[in-house]
Homo-oligomer: A and B are copies of this chain.
Amino acid sequence: MIRRYEFGKVLETEAILEKPEQAEGAVPYLQVDEAKRSLLYEMGEKDRVYGLGENLRGINKRGWIYESRCTDDPEHMEDKRALYGAHNFLVVDGQDQFGVFIDYPGILSFDVGYTRCNQLKIQLSDWNMDLYVITGENVRDIVRQFRRLIGRSYIPPLWAFGYGQSRWGYKSEDDVREVVRRHRELQIPLDSVYLDIDYMERYKDFTVNQETFPDFADFCGEMKRQHIHLVPIIDAGVKQEEGYPVYEEGMEKGYFCKKEDGSPFVAAVWPGKALFPDMLNEEARRWFGNQYQFLLDQGIEGFWNDMNEPAIFYTEDRLRQVMEELESYKGRNLDLDTFFSFTNLVQSLSNNTEDYKEFYHEFHGEKVRHDRVHNLFGFNMTRAAGEAFERLVPEKRILMFSRSSYIGMHRYGGIWQGDNRSWWSHLLLNIKMMPSLNMCGFLYTGADLGGFGADTTEDLLLRWLAFGIFTPLMRNHSAMGTREQEVYRFEKTEGFRHIIGLRYRLIPYLYSEYMKAVLRDEMMFRPLAFDYPSDAYAAQVEDQLLLGEELMLAPVYEQNKEGRYVYLPEEMKMVRFSEDGTVEEKILPAGHHYVKVPLTDVVFFLRPNRLIPFADVAQNVDEIDFEHPGVLAFVREEACYEYYRDNGYEKDYENPAHFHRICLKKGESSPTVF
């Protein structure tokens, strides 16, 4: 049951397209304190709190304070409170069981037992919101109702389930060719190469550097013949440069965000001074979306939207001020206080929340200051693209994922999990984030495998890939200046080939699970607690995940470990894939186990009376035989699997012809397909 309560003058986020009527009576569970702009709930000692999407720390969010304040902060450390997304949905699971969604575009915080152990406190910046309280049969049901409320999640093309290679640092056609050549030579499957900011001409959106990519359309074709999709990056800021058509047209039509006095708001990002298209203004959004045509025309079928929190290196105004203030430090003895104020001054240039009060949107016909709708910017940039694709290439699925997001954006694209680092703890964070994101509608997601910032190690990359083969977005990405981390840079080539090859054997299953989760508002990845609610131990497990109804994953995420503890809430079949091609299957009883997992092994667990389709290895998605997969099964009596299969490019998602049934009875050697 979903109850909506309206407070103040709501700014329509369009997170929810069809709002239910306002509910009668008092808000259940929550104590509403309008004077303090807060919602309070007294938690039981053992209550758990799930949700909040893209965020730091655990699956159970207790014991920290989180902010929904989309921010470009590449230091994803334990004590941070906000990342790139604003996902204001949580579920309390304990004495009471209910979901809460705060549909509110401004900045708010969730104190989940940080200040006081048993208090949940939601604090808003102003008192205008739609508050949804959702109850249901159990946690999965509450999430399902919420997902239905917010609408169907984005569906990418099939090839986007292949392995992608990226690096901030590929500068030319030849750089890309080399990446592809090395993968093909070593028989390491690959479906895409990402183009970071260097493909552009001086970081100008919707341009291509003519020196390094002299005939981009031709190059796209060359790559496609090798079954490789190029995926360029698009930044939120449009370079301020006379003669650059996107800038000139945007200025002429008044599509960029403005300061209070109506003059353009100039903030610097990659190209230096730039302007932000007013993504919240329908007309400007349409115009910005139309720009993607430039790349679509050259054969591009996928994009990633970046810097759309929006990130700000500095604003023109603040830089001027800071430069002046720096003067005053000259010739002084800077002690503790003055030296830190000096360095803070320079740090204050970037992503300064005060700058978010300096520009305005034209939002549903009203002039609204940015900070009040801050969390909607990335959402609407990606919506600009998604809506444009529907207009420009309605017959096609286009790959689209974003860095910043708000619930609602999940209908237009996925997200990657931002600028993480080559830290073992970020592999674990990747694991923990998957179900939280799924709860909030973000199904097409994954982390930068191997880690974006910092230097990776071979073992970290192997272990990370061994988890990454299960995430819908599977991309190896790294930053300029860090150790090169394409898999061919390392020694254990056979191990990498084996692990990435396994991804391709699993794609029929993973794609089928993805599509069913989307079409039925289900989570593809779930914590154990969601499926085994009466198992007190399962409730504490934060490093294992359920995938679909069939698998349990228990990745190794620590260095120099040859195995790990695994908790089985019920009897399961362990399946082990070794580098030498052997597949070991072993039934383990419910309970605690120590499982050996050598560095290039992949292990997962099949639940009883379940099976999954399992294909042969392929070098790219086009080569996979979806029609005649084998199966992996744990049959006690009978295992049946509902197999979703379409051509991966068209949009007749609901066509009953896509749904097949594969069954295997005890004693049978091969399955029956219906």
Is the C-beta of A616 less than 8 angstroms from some C-beta in chain B? no
Does A203 lie within 8 Å of B268, measured CB to CB? no
Does A540 lie within 8 Å of B565, measured CB to CB? no
Cα-based distance from A63 to B454 in the complex (angstroms) = 14
Is the C-beta of A550 less than 8 angstroms from some C-beta in chain B? no
Chain B residues with CB below 8 A from A176, complex form: none
In the complex, the chain B residue whose C-beta lies closest to that of A343 is: B346
Chain B residues with CB below 8 A from A422, complex form: 78-79
Identify 7 new A-B residue pairs, CB closer than 8 A, beyond the known A197-B336, A425-B425. Answer: A63-B559, A117-B458, A272-B338, A273-B333, A323-B329, A343-B349, A346-B346
Does B562 lie within 8 Å of A540, measured CB to CB? yes
Is the C-beta of A610 less than 8 angstroms from some C-beta in chain B? no
The 8 closest A-B pairs by CB, nearest first: A272-B335, A79-B454, A272-B333, A78-B423, A346-B346, A565-B565, A60-B560, A270-B336
CB A318 to nearest CB in B, in angstroms, measures: 12
Contact of A203 among B272, B323, B335 (CB under 8 A): B335
Number of interface residues of A (CB under 8 A): 66
Could you tell me which residues of chain A, from 431 to 468, have a CB within 8 Å of some CB in chain B? Answer: 453-455, 457-460
Is the C-beta of A339 less than 8 angstroms from some C-beta in chain B? yes
Chain B residues with CB below 8 A from A454, complex form: 77-79
Is the C-beta of A271 less than 8 angstroms from some C-beta in chain B? yes
CB A451 to nearest CB in B, in angstroms, measures: 9
CB A495 to nearest CB in B, in angstroms, measures: 11
Is the C-beta of A58 less than 8 angstroms from some C-beta in chain B? yes
Cα-based distance from A342 to B314 in the complex (angstroms) = 12
Per-position 1/0 for A101-117, Cβ under 8 A of B? 00000000000001011
In the complex, the chain B residue whose C-beta lies closest to that of A455 is: B79
Is the C-beta of A644 less than 8 angstroms from some C-beta in chain B? no
Does A117 lie within 8 Å of B491, measured CB to CB? yes
Q: Which A residues lie at the B interface, using CB under 8 A?
A: 48, 57-58, 60, 62-64, 77-79, 114, 116-117, 197, 202-203, 268, 270-273, 313-314, 319, 323, 326, 329-330, 333-336, 338-339, 342-343, 346-347, 349-350, 421-425, 453-455, 457-460, 491-492, 537, 540, 542, 558-563, 565, 592, 594
CB A554 to nearest CB in B, in angstroms, measures: 13
Does B319 lie within 8 Å of A116, measured CB to CB? no
Contact of A271 among B62, B336, B540 (CB under 8 A): B336
When all copies of this chain in the complex are counted, the total is 2
CB A424 to nearest CB in B, in angstroms, measures: 6
Can you spell out 28 A-B residue pairs with CB atoms less than 8 angstroms apart?
A62-B559, A62-B560, A63-B459, A63-B460, A64-B559, A77-B77, A77-B423, A78-B421, A79-B422, A79-B423, A79-B453, A79-B455, A203-B335, A203-B336, A270-B335, A272-B334, A272-B336, A273-B333, A314-B339, A319-B334, A326-B326, A346-B346, A425-B425, A537-B594, A540-B563, A542-B560, A592-B592, A592-B594
Does B79 lie within 8 Å of A560, measured CB to CB? no
Does B116 lie within 8 Å of A491, measured CB to CB? yes
- A272, A313, A319, A560 — most chain B CB neighbours (10 Å): A560
CB A222 to nearest CB in B, in angstroms, measures: 29
Given known pairs A339-B268, A455-B79, the reply for A58 and B559 (CB within 8 Å) is yes
Given known pairs A334-B314, A455-B79, the reply for A560 and B425 (CB within 8 Å) is no
Cα-based distance from A457 to B114 in the complex (angstroms) = 6
Contact of A63 among B334, B457, B492, B540 (CB under 8 A): B457
Cα-based distance from A271 to B338 in the complex (angstroms) = 10
Cα-based distance from A12 to B425 in the complex (angstroms) = 41
Contact of A540 among B421, B458, B540, B561 (CB under 8 A): B561
Cα-based distance from A633 to B48 in the complex (angstroms) = 39
Does B592 lie within 8 Å of A334, measured CB to CB? no
Cα-based distance from A423 to B563 in the complex (angstroms) = 25
Chain B residues with CB below 8 A from A77, complex form: 77, 421, 423, 454
Does A78 lie within 8 Å of B343, measured CB to CB? no
Chain B residues with CB below 8 A from A334, complex form: 268, 272, 313-314, 319
Does A78 lie within 8 Å of B424, measured CB to CB? yes
Chain B residues with CB below 8 A from A594, complex form: 537, 565, 592
Does B323 lie within 8 Å of A339, measured CB to CB? no
Chain B residues with CB below 8 A from A313, complex form: 334, 339
Cα-based distance from A560 to B63 in the complex (angstroms) = 8
CB A214 to nearest CB in B, in angstroms, measures: 23
Cα-based distance from A440 to B374 in the complex (angstroms) = 52
In the complex, the chain B residue whose C-beta lies closest to that of A59 is: B560
Cα-based distance from A268 to B329 in the complex (angstroms) = 14
Does A559 lie within 8 Å of B57, measured CB to CB? yes
Chain B residues with CB below 8 A from A492, complex form: 117
Chain B residues with CB below 8 A from A202, complex form: 335
CB A122 to nearest CB in B, in angstroms, measures: 18
Chain B residues with CB below 8 A from A424, complex form: 78
CB A647 to nearest CB in B, in angstroms, measures: 41
CB A420 to nearest CB in B, in angstroms, measures: 11
Chain B residues with CB below 8 A from A561, complex form: 540
Chain B residues with CB below 8 A from A330, complex form: 323
- A271, A457, A540 — most chain B CB neighbours (10 Å): A457
Given known pairs A63-B559, A63-B560, A592-B592, the reply for A425 and B78 (CB within 8 Å) is yes
Cα-based distance from A338 to B559 in the complex (angstroms) = 38
In the complex, the chain B residue whose C-beta lies closest to that of A114 is: B457
Cα-based distance from A301 to B512 in the complex (angstroms) = 70
Cα-based distance from A78 to B334 in the complex (angstroms) = 32
Chain B residues with CB below 8 A from A458, complex form: 117
Chain B residues with CB below 8 A from A565, complex form: 565, 592, 594
Cα-based distance from A148 to B343 in the complex (angstroms) = 46
Cα-based distance from A610 to B99 in the complex (angstroms) = 53
Does A268 lie within 8 Å of B421, measured CB to CB? no
Chain B residues with CB below 8 A from A338, complex form: 272
In the complex, the chain B residue whose C-beta lies closest to that of A332 is: B272
Chain B residues with CB below 8 A from A329, complex form: 323
Chain B residues with CB below 8 A from A57, complex form: 559
In the complex, the chain B residue whose C-beta lies closest to that of A78 is: B423
CB A197 to nearest CB in B, in angstroms, measures: 8
Cα-based distance from A325 to B48 in the complex (angstroms) = 54
